[in-house]
Amino acid sequence: MSICITGTGSYIPEIIKKNKDFLENTFLNSDGSNFKVSNEVIIKKFQAITGIEERRYAKSNHNSSDLAFFAAKNAINDSKIDQENLDYIIVAHNFGDIKSGTKQFDQLPSLASRVKYKLGINNPSCVCYDLIFGCPGWIEGVIHAQAFIKAGMAKKCLVIGAETLSRTYDTSDRDSMIFSDGAGASIIEKKDEVHNQGILSHKTCTFSSENTFDLFLGESFDNKNKSKDKYIKMYGHKIYEFAITKVPQALKDCLENSGKSVSDVKKIFLHQANEKMDDAMVNRFYKLYDLPRPDNIMPMSIGKLGNSSVATIPTLLDLVKKNKLENHSLKKGDIILFGSVGAGMNVNAITYQV
């Protein structure tokens, strides 16, 4: 028996927000003071570090559950399953639905239940729940689905990562340029006739100590903003230092648990948080083996799509699987790694054989 990803789907919003569109923003330090450099300099440095040239925003009439539904339909069609046979729908997100023009998070009912409703699934044995696990949410959802299948509680699961981060940020915070919207989905199935494929191993860690609140909700940097709204905030340098240590080790532990060799790895799919950080994580992963980093090992989508949190990895997988990302493809038998880091602080990884 193998537990495999039999279908993938994504939804990339149509609205493109380029770096130049932030030139008129008033960016401030955390204490409300002005930067001593121009927005042109801020944006140029931002792009050099993150690799982001543009990002995608959802239409005003689309919420996270809508994006999740669009991606889910694509994954279901790709897998060619009967959606009524789904045992679980798991939706990873951080903020629920946020109606355009507001900052109110809506998670009642769950986004998973909303997706089931939008799909028109009538089977009451299709169980729905949301997963709040930071950016590693989609990977953790896949791990949950595998556990249900191993326990005999499920045969088919739909796991989705969806987010509209464009509705959570403080316009006076330069980190606002990182965030984007999107959704990615996958069908996880039990395959009795298939062996030595699918999920080979996984690793999850939660480091709830000094890094717990490196990502948090806080007030606007603009002292003139008297609203009580809270915005997504982060200590970027602390997250960087945390990630480049913890994620490579999690990838190594996960790979070793699979019984595969580092020389077997064909692709590494990392959460698209920051191009410089992702490069450093992959470099450190190979350094743990005293090996140079192979060419073309890490697909990247952040340059054009930004950081859509839980949606980045399933979207990236869908693009590569369907040959929509230049110079990257997968073939049967390939060993790939998934790895992510995010709020909590949570780190996880999966070793997977295509």
In this predicted model, what pLDDT tens digit does every residue of 101-117 receive, in sequence order? 888 899 999 999 999 99
Q: Are 2 and 196 in contact (CB under 8 A)?
A: yes
**Helices of type H across the chain:** 39-50, 64-79, 111-119, 137-150, 236-258, 275-287, 302-305, 312-321
Cα–Cα distance, 234 to 216 (Å, whole number): 6
Q: What is the pTM of this model?
A: 0.96
Find residue 269's DSSP bridge partners.
Answer: 338
Per the CB < 8 A criterion, the answer to whether 3 and 45 are in contact is no
What DSSP string runs through 43-76? HHHHHHHH--SEEEE--TT--HHHHHHHHHHHHH
CA 278/CA 271 separation, integer angstroms: 8
Residue 227's pLDDT is 87
- Return d(Cα 303, Cα 50) in angstroms, integer: 8
Residue 175, Cβ neighbours under 10 Å: how many?
19
Q: Going residue by residue through the chain (354 aa), what tens digit of pLDDT does each one get? A: 899 999 999 999 999 999 999 999 999 999 999 999 999 999 999 999 999 999 999 999 999 999 999 999 999 999 999 999 999 999 999 999 999 988 889 999 999 999 999 999 999 999 999 999 999 999 999 999 999 999 999 999 999 999 999 999 999 999 999 999 999 999 999 998 878 899 999 999 999 988 999 999 999 999 988 888 999 999 999 999 999 999 999 999 999 999 999 999 999 999 999 999 999 999 999 999 999 999 999 999 999 999 999 999 999 999 999 999 999 999 999 999 999 999 999 999 999 999
Class of the 2-191 domain?
alpha beta
Q: Which residues pair with 209 in a beta bridge?
A: none
Domain boundaries, the chain: 2-191, 198-353
Residue 226: per-residue pLDDT = 84
Quick check: do 2-191 and 198-353 share a fold? yes
Sequence-distant (≥ 6) Cβ neighbours of residue 343 within 8 angstroms: 94, 134, 135, 214, 215, 216
Phi, psi of 252 (to 5 degrees): -65, -45
pLDDT of residue 228: 86
**Architecture field, domain 198-353:** 3-Layer(aba) Sandwich (3.40)
pLDDT digits (tens, 9 = 90+) for 5-31: 999 999 999 999 999 999 999 999 999
Could you tell me which of 349, 275, 324 has the C-alpha nearest to residue 10? 324
Nearest alpha carbon to residue 93 among 228, 232, 299: 232
Amino acid at 307: N
Q: What is the pLDDT of residue 196?
A: 82
